[in-house]
Amino acid sequence: MSATREHEGIDYRRLSKTSAHALRHAPERYGLELDANGWVEVAELVEALKGARRVWRRIERAHVERMVATSPKDRFEMDGERVRARYGHSVEGVVAMSPGEPPEDLYHGAPVGIVATILSDGLKPMSRQYVHMAVDVPGAIEVGRRKGGETALLVVRAREASEAGVAFYEGNDHVWLADHVPGEFIDVRER
């Protein structure tokens, strides 16, 4: 295991994935109750992780702080004694975002078989709170490949959509979010 993945016997990649599951998708499975904006006390997360799996019984606040600081995808944020996942939630009613001005274009990788539906109906969040779009082509392709099969690269004319009233939210340096992007602002790019 590389030094960036494991430090002091803690696999930070695995800790990030487990914490994302707890804070994005299944807080109740960890005995956590997120507030209206997805926040939970760091001490509560630490105790929840300790109780969830034997591998985490040595975890401490410092490990969570390091995970947040070194997460390559900026998945988490801390505010004093609280921590939350910044985006990617499938849990209802968390993480209110403030609209921002998106870049000219954003990118989304999608299975080729659903492109016609997307162009007709637009991008929808499906099982998540928001539609996720990458700021670059490699990021979109990476996410699209996780969905399986051949991936189409969709270009979202974000600035144009924003000027037409579509709200965009900055998830982090790599990801922008939207409630819905109408198909009229989406193009398919040949790769």
The answer to whether the CB of 107 falls within 8 A of the CB of 138 is no
pLDDT at 16 over 80: yes
**63 vs 83: CA distance, rounded Å:** 13
The answer to whether the CB of 132 falls within 8 A of the CB of 181 is no
Provide the whole-model pTM.
0.59
Same domain for 76 and 112? no
The answer to whether the CB of 86 falls within 8 A of the CB of 95 is yes
Indicate whether 179 belongs to any domain.
yes
Looking up residue 151, the CATH number of its domain turns out to be 3.20.170.30
pLDDT at 8 over 70: no
pLDDT band for position 3 (cuts 50, 70, 90): very low
- Provide mean pLDDT across the span 68-97: 79
Q: What is the pLDDT of residue 107?
A: 96
- The range of the structural domain enclosing residue 118 comes to 106-189
pLDDT at 132 over 80: yes
pLDDT tens sequence across 133-186: 999 999 898 878 877 778 999 999 999 999 999 999 887 778 898 999 999 999
SS3 116: helix
